Structure 1
Amino acid sequence: MQSAIRLGSMLRERKFDTEADFCASACLYAFLGGVRRSTVGDNPRIGIHRFYRSQAASNPTMKQFTGVDMDSTQRLMAGLLFYSPRMGVDLRLIALSIDAGPSEMRWLEKGELELLHVTYEPGRWTDWRVVTPKNSQGVLAISETQDKTRSMQLLCSQGRVLFSVIDENGDAEWLRQCRDSRNSHRLFGADIPSSKVEVLSNPSGIVFQLPQKAIVVSTPAIFAFDNDDYPMACKDIEGRYFGTMAGFQRMWKLAIGNCVD
């Protein structure tokens, strides 16, 4: 286990990525060292279990642990609790190890791998969900990249339906240029006048005020590369603002269903 942690730390220090189709036990902790972590194949198997000594596994009821053993166990657990969040992984992963004993394995499902950041792609957009923002009525539908530097939000606020894209590392001047390149912008089946589009500076972002009518559940992408409405200088060739449709149809109804005709 300690060797796996050292290997994972070395991978992170050298900024390597990791991928696996089968990785269990100590292998998992080495895998976590990757800056980008992905699975391959149609049925990847990533597993975790409680750590143990081989003697304890063969005779679990035998009294065989000394004070030194207990100390080593606590040190190892402390190491895991320090290492996992340093790699950007949710500590609930460690808790899941309790599900599997010495001769078992707790295989992680795809959703768990993503939720706990075992698999991690900084720029990948997460499924849409709804949250209740502070000091605001109603709910907010939101999707964000795994590194949380970019987000898309859909909200009904004071009778206005707002769709915003926030980018902590974005270029507000570029967004302003793209807003002003057209008199109107096609989004969710509606033509939105540029006068109803606001560009933010800190952090950078763009906010579209949608008409109060049923929106078309289509891609939330803005300035998409395949959108012929915009000049080449205003096309998102890197796919930063493509977003995801996962969960969008259900979440937008929860967020703005009562605000549109």
Structure 2
Amino acid sequence: MQVNNDRLTLAVAKAPQIYLAGVIDADAPQRFESMMRSGKIANGSDIYLNASGADLHAGIALGRLFRQGSMVTHLGTQRRQRGAPAKPALCTDACVYAYLGGLYRWAPTGADRIGFPAQMAVDPKASADPDDTSAYLKEMDIDQSALAPLLTAAHADPAWLPADQLIAARIANNGRLPLTATYQVQNGEPYLTLAEVKRGGQHRMSLECRRDGVLFTAYNAVGAEHAKQIVAHGARSFVEVNHAESYPPQQDYATVQDDAVVIARTYPGAQLGSLISATTLGAWVRDRNSMLRYGFEFELGGLDHILRKYYQACWEYAPWQVAKKS
């Protein structure tokens, strides 16, 4: 276990870097936890794995410690000499279970490889064993039904899964937790919130159904100073629906609220259906001095149930303004 928490590392990476290399043995979780308790390994650290080991319970125990400390898992090896390329990392057996414990899990890049045990494709009956594989995967928010077909199709043990498959199955999240949607009624008005927590910040959109239309508001939490800089240097702000710019007839400026860049638009109620049936919604500020734009985009797949519920509530609240969804 190699801990890098020097001033340069913290300035560049914004978090301590912990390199775990070798064989994960039965005592590895105890050694790691001891370093956590002593403060040598801090919450929120980046964990770089290049390991193996047959003790799956030890891998699971490490994974639980990673999640307890809101740590981030990667594959990687430490550079031995300045400027020299790092050697490829391999993560197999117990290491895979440890990797899944990361709150944020980065997919392997370059020549780094992660090999998933075929036994992860098995869905055993419920067990009282707290270290049961299926129970652990569920605890770590891993969808075993999405993982199993990938392992079965690989026809190998371990299954060396590429980054795109890991991201598509949400095994790796590359610094973003799943998009959530919550619906409530505030002062009689249906109110929908879409939120995505990512490492270092949060993105949020709200849709408020009013008598005079639908108020769309996007919040890009980037820190108070950065938010002020984005707004000060912004030429204009805009909303995208399905990657195409949306044009409600109103001013296109952005504002700062606490630590967030805020973009607000009021849409006619008849456009609500096109907003919530979109594949993607984005909110951006274009920099006047460059081609850069600052903002975020949500993919709305998998939220159909709550979006339909919100749409129905708006229809009941103000039926004169909402055109029926085709």
Cα 1:157–1:119, aligned 2, differ >3 Å: closer, same or farther? Answer: farther
> Does 2:301 match 1:232?
no
Aligned equivalent of 2:105: 36
Q: Which has the higher contact order (CA 8 A, sep 6+)?
A: 1
Residues 207-233 of structure 1, C-alpha deviation per residue, up to 9 Å, x if partnerless? 41223163686751312xxx5xx4137
Aligned equivalent of 2:175: 122
Residues 59-94 of structure 1, C-alpha deviation per residue, up to 9 Å, x if partnerless? xxxxxxxxxxx9xx846459x76x985xxx23886x
Structure 2 contact 63–99 (Cα < 8 Å) conserved: yes
Structure 1 contact 8–33 (Cα < 8 Å) conserved: yes
Q: What code does the residue aligned with 1:243 have?
A: E
Structure 1 contact 165–207 (Cα < 8 Å) conserved: yes
**Root-mean-square deviation (Å):** 5.6
Normalised by the size of structure 1, how large is the TM-score?
0.50
Within-5 A mapping of 1:33-72: 33-34=101-102, 35-38=104-107, 48=120, 49=122
Secondary structure of 1:4's aligned partner:
helix
In the TM superposition, residue 206 of structure 1 has moved relative to its aligned partner by: 0.9
In the TM superposition, residue 193 of structure 1 has moved relative to its aligned partner by: 1.2
Within-5 A mapping of 1:1-261: 1-5=56-60, 8=63, 16-18=73-75, 26=94, 28-34=96-102, 35-38=104-107, 48=120, 49=122, 74=129, 76=131, 89-90=140-141, 113-114=169-170, 118-123=171-176, 126=179, 130-135=181-186, 137-138=189-190, 140=192, 142-145=194-197, 149-171=202-224, 174-175=227-228, 178=231, 181=234, 185-187=237-239, 188-193=246-251, 199-201=256-258, 204-212=260-268, 214=271, 219-223=281-285, 227=286, 230-232=287-289, 235-236=292-293, 241-247=295-301, 254=308, 255=310, 258=315, 259=321
In the TM superposition, residue 125 of structure 1 has moved relative to its aligned partner by: 6.9
Residues of 2 paired with 1:16 and 1:253: CA distance?
A: 33
Cα 1:186–1:9, aligned 2, differ >3 Å: closer, same or farther? Answer: closer
In the TM superposition, residue 8 of structure 1 has moved relative to its aligned partner by: 4.4
Q: What code does the residue aligned with 1:156 have?
A: C
Secondary structure of 1:2's aligned partner:
helix
Residues of 2 paired with 1:24 and 1:173: CA distance?
A: 40
Structure 1 contact 150–167 (Cα < 8 Å) conserved: yes
Which structure shows the higher strand fraction? 2
Secondary structure of 2:175's aligned partner:
coil
Secondary structure of 2:189's aligned partner:
coil
Count of equivalent residues: 208
Unpaired stretches in structure 1, ≥5 consecutive residues: 53-69, 98-104
